[in-house]
Structure 1
Amino acid sequence: MNGKGWTAPESGRVKCNIGISWSKATCMAGLGWIVRNSEGQTLLHSRRAFNGVSSLLEARRLGLIWSAESMISHRFQKVSFELEDHELVGSVNRPKAWPALKGYGEKLRGVRIMLQIGW
């Protein structure tokens, strides 16, 4: 996110914004996503909880994979994702710069290929 609020995707694409909340005390994560078109109209949204989540990074990974799989289920194409996690985005776009996240990056790249999306 750029700190200036929501920005529209380019024409012909949709944007999926992902929100994540995680509790260390309960190992619970609350996740949500919203899809909007280039005019800013909400097309679809969803939320869910995951238990047994050991870290904020794991919650973010789950959120990104769950939202990407949801885009596949709902047959969205040309999806841009937005979330506040430069490590996960870096693990996909520049894997050599993020060797500690190699496993995360490989899983996410697999989902990315299925969607043929922009990150």
Structure 2
Amino acid sequence: MQLCNIGSSWVDGNQNCGVAWLTRNHAGAALAHSRRSYSHVSSSLEAEPLGFYWASESVSTMRYEKVVFESTSYLAGEAILKPGNFPQWLSLIEAIREKLSLLRLWSISYVNRGANRCADAIALSVTRDQCYASYIATDCPGWLLPIVREDESGIFSAH
């Protein structure tokens, strides 16, 4: 079972939002990460399910089978689990659920900000540093390595 932390960063509706994910194995070692920007996103609440879409699309394409998606957005998780309560995002939620159906097993877990700091930092690099190029890469970005290593060694307990 892989863990997939999802982060998002939003400034305002006239700029790009950033979304990111970082996957880890059962021991906490980083497997892969990604970031992407989206234009003309109306709110931070819209940015959060876009992060879930990018993560679910990516991990299904990478042929992951069992994934626990972790996010600081309780609302985005609820939207995916109870789409009828969020009609404004229905087409996006349906697209997310279609990608999730390609996985053998998945779940969504709400985590505190400290447990999601790597994915949030990658997403913030889009809006803060204007790094709009999307990519998927193995491991983690070098500038984030100290935090990833702390998490792996258990210095910071995510749960």
TM-score by length of structure 1 reads 0.76
1:92 pairs with one of 80, 99, 107 = 80
Paired amino acid for 1:88: A
How far did 1:101 drift? 5.1
Alignment of 1:1-119 (within 5 A): 13-24=1-12, 26-95=14-83, 98-100=85-87, 103=90, 104-116=92-104, 117-119=106-108
Structure 1 vs Structure 2: percent identity of aligned residues?
Answer: 34
Length, aligned pairs only = 106
Aligned residue type for 1:20? S
Question: Unpaired segments of 5 or more residues in structure 1?
Answer: 1-12
Q: Which has the higher contact order (CA 8 A, sep 6+)?
A: 2
Provide the secondary structure at the position in 2 that maps to 1:79.
strand
8 Å contact kept, 2:60–2:99: no
For 1:62 and 1:113, the matched residues in 2 are separated by 17
The structure carrying a bigger helix percent of its residues is 2
Query: What's the TM-score, normalizing by structure 2?
Result: 0.59
CA RMSD of aligned residues (A): 1.9
CA contact (8 A) 1:27 1:55 kept: no
